Amino acid sequence: MTKTPRIAVLGAGYTGLTIANLLARRTAADVTLVNDRPDFVERMRNHQVAAGRTVRRRPLRDLVSGTGVRLVVDRVTRLDPAARHVELAGAAEPLGYDLLVYALGSHADLDAVPGAAEHACAVAGVEQAQRLRDRLRTAGTVAVVGAGPTGLETAAELAETHPGHTVRLISGGTLGRELTEPGRDHLRRVLDRLGVQVWENTAVAKVDAGGVLLEDGRHLSAEAVAWTAGFTVPALAGQAGLAVDEHGRMLVDATLRSASHPEVYGIGDAAAARTRDGHVLRMGCGPGSLAGACAFHAITARMAGRDPQPLRVKDDTLCIGLGAWDGILQSTGLDGVPHGKPLTGRPVALIKRAVLRVTGRYNPRHPGIGVIAARQG
Ligand SMILES: Cc1cc2nc3c(=O)[nH]c(=O)nc-3n(C[C@H](O)[C@H](O)[C@H](O)COP(=O)(O)OP(=O)(O)OC[C@H]3O[C@@H](n4cnc5c(N)ncnc54)[C@H](O)[C@@H]3O)c2cc1C
């Protein structure tokens, strides 16, 4: 009799939860999902949490019930690929596996400048987003550091929900670099309408209790600082000797399999997924979901003795929500270069709501959409 394969999925974010549910439902493997918190965090709503909007609590045990997934709420402290097991903070015995899916996501890089870890709140983490929300009850001025999509969404959301506050957005480069000109124009109009003060081509040198010190020596006062400038990944893969890139993201092939350890797959922000033509996917729920679906197909194909299909992604799309009623939908190449006229305004706000509903509400429980999308490439 052949042994039932044991699959361990580390991380129950957007990608890990989805692939665990798929593998448990559609293969005969024993699937264990490990996460360091009992609830599913919809990170894409963290800026809404910071603005004081209520985001419903979603216990992971409800999201995996009936699927066959064994849920372990614990923190992974070490991987041992030679022994094929992972160590957990709260368990005396390590968790063994035949196949590992590494989906530990990313977090804010608060070591980027002095004082950020102490004084800033990173929107990347839900507890920090809640801390920012609490600070905004008394703070009248908030500085949002970083003007990538997360920074733009945060600044717009805070300005819209707190019209009496002063919101300052600090962009290291030109505002809206990821957009074509019509998109940049729209972005400026929206931020202007919301009263967001923008500092462009401005680097932050330090965060302190009274605001941010800029590299040119100026000090911008702020009673709260929202940090959105840069994400980093857990160091566990690199520490365990798995091949990682210069940012610590796991190096994987076009089927999402580790470049150094064939029994390990890496998906989501924690892995640097590469398409056949060599483009590395950006960190993001959209690209991560496609990578997760491709990994699912690759794992099941190999289990069945078939050759897996490589990741097929031709393009990328940014869907940036700007408050409840506005937004920008911009096509980009996989190199991040934007092209074409973006869609803007209310239709994008509605699309964004649908995306949030699918990724946060529907897909964790019924993970079929990403799978179809990955097949079509
Ligand atoms: C405000 C905001 C808005 C965003 N908007 C968009 C958007 O519009 N479009 C888009 O594509 N992307 C967006 N993103 C990015 C998106 O949220 C991430 O790319 C996505 O969450 C990555 O999914 P993941 O499954 O790789 O990791 P995550 O969703 O981060 O999940 C990782 C999981 O692993 C757990 N974990 C971590 N370390 C350990 C450990 N040692 N042991 C056990 N468990 C652990 C974490 O608790 C978490 O549950 C946004 C992010 C933010 C913060």
Task: Tell me the per-residue pLDDT of 35-75, one tens digit each, with 9 for 90 and over.
Answer: 999 999 999 999 999 999 999 889 999 999 999 999 999 99
- What's the CA gap between 118 and 372, in Å, rounded? 44
User: For 205, phi and psi rounded to 5 degrees?
Assistant: -95, -30
Q: Whose CA is nearest to atom 35 of ligand 1?
A: 11
pLDDT given at position 69: 97
pLDDT above 70 covers a percentage of the chain that reads 97
| pLDDT at residue 373, rounded to an integer | 55
CA distance 9 to 31: 7
For the sheet with 343-344, list strands across it. Answer: 316-321, 327-332, 343-344
What whole-number distance in Å separates Cα of residue 74 and Cα of residue 57? 19
Three-state DSSP at 299 gives helix
- CA 255 from centroid of its chain's CA atoms: 20
Residue owning the nearest CA to atom 47 of ligand 1: 36
Beta-strand pair 141-145/224-227: parallel
**C-alpha closest to that of 274 among 297, 290, 296:** 290
Q: Contact 57/240 with Cβ under 8 angstroms?
A: no
The segment(s) of the chain belonging to CATH 3.50.50.60 are 6-106+233-313, 109-230
Torsion of CA 36, 39, 45, 46, to 10 degrees: -50
Mean per-residue pLDDT, 242-266: 97
| Closest atom of ligand 1 relative to the 16 alpha carbon | 25
Confidence class of residue 259 from pLDDT cuts 50, 70 and 90? very high
Average pLDDT over residues 125-153: 96
* C-alpha–C-alpha distance, residues 254 and 106, integer Å: 21
Q: Please give the C-alpha separations between residue 283 and each of 17, 101, 230, 328, 343, in angstroms, as whole numbers.
A: 17, 17, 11, 19, 22
Q: In a mutational test of the pocket of ligand 1, which residue from 55, 157, 269 has the highest number of ligand atoms less than 8 Å from its CB?
A: 269
Superfamily of domain 6-106+233-313: FAD/NAD(P)-binding domain (3.50.50.60)
Tell me the torsion sign for CA atoms 233, 250, 335, 372: negative
Q: Answer whether residue 253 shows pLDDT above 90.
A: yes
Indicate the CATH number of 109-230 among 3.40.50.300, 3.10.20.310, 3.40.50.2300, 3.50.50.60: 3.50.50.60
CA separation for the pair 33, 375 (Å, rounded):
24
Stretch 307-330: mean pLDDT, rounded? 95
Measured distance between the N- and C-terminal CA atoms of the chain, rounded to whole angstroms = 37
Structure letter (DSSP) for residue 43: G
Distance CA 231, CA 206 (A): 17
Query: What was the pLDDT predicted at 365?
Result: 75
Tell me the two tokens of residue 359.
Answer: 């990724």
Shortest-distance Cα residue to atom 37 of ligand 1: 104
Q: Which residues line ligand 1 (CB under 6 A)?
A: 11-16, 34-37, 41, 43-44, 46-47, 75-76, 103-106, 123-124, 150, 153, 234, 268-270, 283-286, 288, 319
CA of 107 to the centre of ligand 1 (A): 8
pLDDT, residue 279, reads 87
Is pLDDT above 70 for 86? Answer: yes
For the whole model, what pTM was predicted? 0.95
At 374, is the pLDDT very low, low, confident or very high (cuts 50, 70, 90)?
low
Produce one character per residue of 187-214: b if its CB has 16 or more CB atoms within 10 Å, e if not: beebbeebebbbbeebebeebeeebbbb
Q: 10 Å Cβ neighbour count for 260?
A: 16
Measured distance CA(107)–CA(113) in Å, rounded: 15
Q: What is the dihedral of CA 352, 355, 356, 357, to 10 degrees?
A: 120
Q: Assess whether pLDDT exceeds 70 at residue 2.
A: no
In the predicted structure, residue 20 carries a pLDDT above the cut 90: yes
C-alpha 24 to ligand 1 mean position (Å):
22
Axis crossing angle, helix 149-161 with helix 181-193, rounded to the nearest 10 = 30
User: What does the pLDDT average to over 274-298?
Assistant: 91
Q: How confident is the model at residue 312 (pLDDT cuts 50, 70, 90)?
A: confident
pLDDT tier at 95, thresholds 50, 70, 90: very high
pLDDT score recorded for residue 46? 97
Answer yes or no: is pLDDT of 376 > 60.
no
CA 78 to chain centre: 22
Determine the average pLDDT of the residues in 265-271. 98
Residue 226: phi and psi, rounded to 5, are: -100, 125
Higher-pLDDT residue of 363 and 133 is 133
CA distances to 136, 179, 310 from 252, rounded to whole Å, are 41, 29, 11
Q: Nearest residue CA, atom 41 of ligand 1? A: 76
Q: How far apart are CA 37 and CA 35, in angstroms?
A: 6
Most ligand 1 atoms within 8 A of CB, residue of 86, 285, 313 to mutate: 285
User: Cα(283)–Cα(328) distance, rounded to whole angstroms?
Assistant: 19
From residue 371, give the alpha-carbon distance in Å to each of 102, 121, 217, 299.
Answer: 18, 35, 50, 13
